[in-house]
């Protein structure tokens, strides 16, 4: 694919027609991170935040976001997801939390946007819950790690562990 697909012949936005595509199992994995001061990270890790378990709330927020992706990304198709898993890895050495989302469905279009949205909203939720303690947190490095299913087949980002 060497052209943008979300534009019609007149150059106007459109939702891609997927009605002729085959139903296949589609899986996407995305990852991102949020960096914070060691003191803030310790509060999150030890569940000492007065708002509660930050990662549990962020996990649910990420899952909810994946399910609502079509409501906030204009050209995304509304999908019936068959699975969403959001997980976290605390990196003490770099004082950050890695966020990973795995999204699955059996359908006519991929779930990359849902995985990327889940990671983004989980990071935003961590920020929201911790901003009273620290406003200098940095969210970023949000990327697609891999996807499978559909006509374009398997994609795996190079250089990832």
Tell me which residues are annotated as active site: 128
How many residues would you count in the chain? 161
Please name which of 53, 33, 43 lies closest in space to residue 137, comparing C-alpha atoms. Answer: 33
Measure the CA angle with vertex 78, ends 83 and 16; round to 5°: 120
- Helix 54-67 and helix 112-130: axis angle, to 10°? 150
CA distances for 51 relative to 21, 26, 63, angstroms: 45, 36, 20
| Helical residues (DSSP H) of 9-161, grouped into ranges | 38-45, 54-67, 69-72, 112-130
Tokens of residue 151, six digits? 């006509």
């Amino acid at each position: 694919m060497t052209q943008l697909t979300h534009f019609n012949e007149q150059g106007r936005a459109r939702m891609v027609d997927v009605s002729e595509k085959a139903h296949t199992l589609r899986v996407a994995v995305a990852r991102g991170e949020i960096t914070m001061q060691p003191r803030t990270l310790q509060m999150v890790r030890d569940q000492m935040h007065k708002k509660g378990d930050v990662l549990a709330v962020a996990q649910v927020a990420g899952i909810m976001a994946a399910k609502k992706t079509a409501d906030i990304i204009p050209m995304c198709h509304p999908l019936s997801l068959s699975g969403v898993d959001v997980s976290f890895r605390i990196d003490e050495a770099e004082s950050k939390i890695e966020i990973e989302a795995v999204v699955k469905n059996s359908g006519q279009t991929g779930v990359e946007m849902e995985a990327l949205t889940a990671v983004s909203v989980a990071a935003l939720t961590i920020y929201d819950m911790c901003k009273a303690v620290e406003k200098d947190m940095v969210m970023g490095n949000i990327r697609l790690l891999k996807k499978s299913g559909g006509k374009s087949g398997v994609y795996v980002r190079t250089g990832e562990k």
